[in-house]
A and B are shown apart, each in its own frame.
Chain A
Amino acid sequence: MIKYMIRRLALAALILFVAVTAMFLMIRAVPGDPVQIMLGPRATPELQASLTAALGLDQPIWKQLVIFYSKMMQGDLGVDVFSGRSVTQIVMQQLPYTLELIFASIIWSALLGVIFGAYAAANPNTFWDRMIAFVSVSFIAAPAFVIALLSLLVFAVQLRWFPAIGVGEGFWSRLHHVVLPAFAIGLSWVGYIARLVRASMLEVLGEHHIRTARAFGLAERRIIMVYALRIAILPVITVIGVGMGFLLSAAVFAEIVFARPGLGKLVIDSITTRNYPVVMGAVLVSTGLFVLSTAISDIVNAWLDPRSRQSL
């Protein structure tokens, strides 16, 4: 298990390296001179030359890459063009808000989705199975931004149960603030996960080892919750690992609709003001998050399913 974790994390580091290098080269390939953009059209050639040297843009590309990585290792992602603050600091300030939103969405939607899916699979073709299928598909079909706006109108404006904007301070207030955005972006995941769990659970329940468990008189609840769910949950964990990436982009509009600070909002704001170092830093951190979450989901899978430890 430890060996698997080390191998998987090494793979994640490699993926991150390739992704970041590709991103770095792509930005360099975009036409336009960052120095000109930073200084504006009226800068003197001397000023431009000094900034070019300061940013290391006069160096050959491989050397720029080396400098970029060595700085990144030290936690230095460059400097905000306008405020002069460290990009690392800016990103790290926004990151917790996005993380709490993503985790809140994943946790509630996965819990509910797994319960719905497992219940539907345990009682196939009954009224409640069809009901869950109907609700799940409706959840999947409903666009998240519509849910966000509607829930904002109903729960924040009409009923005044939850705050409409901001993130709050202190644990309970922050939890209170995260409910609506997490509801909005997690809702379609409930349906998606419920469908997935139902399908894989039905498949597992048809396998021979389940018949064995029944033949030994194990309680049906135990068979479903332990013997079957442990296998049926595997694809869900993989999907959640990859889904983190989708949630990162879903977080962008949730942060805009609910006026929350966060990584998504930071990227949008920085793009509109052409603040490239901040964009680069924020994208880099999101990429890291994505690679890390897929690695974690693989490790959890390996822990649940010893067979998959053999591969890789």
Chain B
Amino acid sequence: MTAPLLQIDGVTIDYNTKKGNLRALRDISFDVNKGEIVGIVGESGCGKSTLISTILQLLPQNAEWKKGAINFKGKNLIACSEKEMRDMRGKDISVIFQDPMQSLNPVITIGRQMVDIQHRSTSPYVEKWQKAIDMLSMVGIADAETRLKQHPFEFSGGMLQRIAIAMALMSRPDLLIADEPTTALDATLEVEIIKRLKDLHKEMGCSILFISHHLGVIAELCQRVVVMYAGSVVEFGSVDEIFFNPKHPYTRRLIECDPGHIKERAKRLPTIPGEIPDLTEALEGCIFQERCSEIIAKCKISTPHFVSVGQNHQAACWLNHNQEPE
């Protein structure tokens, strides 16, 4: 078996805040294989964005790396120098950021930005410009030639998102990180963007780390899913396993709460009671204990570790440990 493209191993990140140390990521581990689409699900504030910044080594200054390693193409990114990282960003690893309206420079034309990100190429300006035109046409933007001379505010959100995708795919990266690329868009556009991403994935064959809190999109696009809660991975496995045989109470509640899964008409949409725990406080036991309806005594004492609960499927919950044949 070939080594995975991206291997995240026990990554723990703290933020130094005024209230104390906030543990944003605790002991995160998962892999992304070559050509695979892996989805990450979780509520807002569960550390998805911190995870991206960690992979790219673009963490804010108050972030503190505690432990763990990120191996990408056989290199530990955490040990890489700033220069080595910069050589990889936008070439081997590309990102589509969350809010397309905010993530493009407002005062520079789209064309100029698309030419600028080809800064590694030595080809003449005209060729870079032509490549920008080709990429825009590829993501379905008509009249790319004149559109390139416009500024971001002259585009709609959906178009900007497609431009962001075009920009991220320009260098044919090995790994594409998509951070909630459809959250800022309406449902019809969402479907279109997902379709576009799927086609591009088939064509370019890159691995995609797809981050979303929209379960439907994840089910549609991804092969494997990682479920995150409050900075930890609680369950991971293939799409089918996660959606049809969830083994962690949090995953089960998350699926129950997805509006797409509700069969009967209800007056209120179901929610998970309680709030995300205060991550600045030291925590003993399972991270989900306060909101879990299936809590047992052991949950309060020690943190559950991962056990295999099916083929390519692991969950970190004490309830599963009983089912394990010793």
Contact = CB atoms under 8 A, between A and B. Distances in A.
A209 B103 CA distance: 4
A207 B103 CA distance: 8
Nearest to A211: B58
Closest 8 CB pairs of A and B: A216-B90, A217-B89, A217-B90, A208-B102, A216-B117, A209-B105, A208-B103, A212-B103
B94 interface: yes
A62 B78 CA distance: 78
Given A208-B99, A209-B102, A217 B108 contact: no
Interface stretch (A77-85, A107-115, A291-299, A301-309): A301-309
B285 interface: no
B290 to A, nearest CB: 32
A219 interface: yes
**SS class of chain B's interface: helix, strand, loop or mixed?**
loop
A218 B90 CA distance: 9
A5 interface: no
A257 interface: no
A300 interface: no
Contact of A306 (B86, B94, B153): B153
Contact of B91 (A207, A214, A217, A231): A217
Contacts of A215: 56, 58, 89-90, 94-95, 97
A209 to B, nearest CB: 4
A230 interface: yes
Nearest to B112: A226
Interface string A220-252: 001000110011000000000000000000000
A211 B120 contact: no
Given A209-B104, A217-B120, 7 more contacts: A216-B94, A219-B86, A227-B105, A231-B107, A305-B106, A306-B151, A307-B107
A241 B119 CA distance: 35
A213 interface: yes
A213 B105 contact: yes
A264 B151 CA distance: 44
Interface residues of A, number: 21
B86 to A, nearest CB: 5
A211 B116 contact: no
A50 B89 CA distance: 84
A213 B91 CA distance: 13
A211 B151 CA distance: 18
B309 interface: no
Contact of A214 (B58, B94, B151): B58
A235 to B, nearest CB: 13
A211 B119 contact: no
A182 B97 CA distance: 47
Contacts of A227: 105, 108
B119 A219 contact: yes
A54 B88 CA distance: 81
B44 to A, nearest CB: 16
Interface string B154-186: 000000000010010000000000000000000
A211 B87 contact: no
B108 A211 contact: no
Nearest to B53: A211
B87 A217 contact: yes
A211 B102 CA distance: 10
Contacts of A226: 108
A216 B151 contact: no
Contacts of B94: 215-216
Contacts of B120: 217
A218 B102 contact: no
A209 B56 CA distance: 15
A212 B89 CA distance: 10
Contacts of A213: 105
Contacts of A217: 86-91, 117, 119-120
B246 to A, nearest CB: 33
A213 B99 CA distance: 14
20 contacts: A208-B102, A209-B104, A209-B105, A215-B56, A215-B58, A215-B94, A216-B116, A217-B88, A217-B90, A217-B120, A219-B86, A222-B119, A226-B108, A227-B108, A230-B107, A231-B105, A231-B107, A305-B107, A307-B106, A307-B153
Contacts of B164: 212
A207 to B, nearest CB: 7
A231 B151 CA distance: 14
Contacts of B87: 217
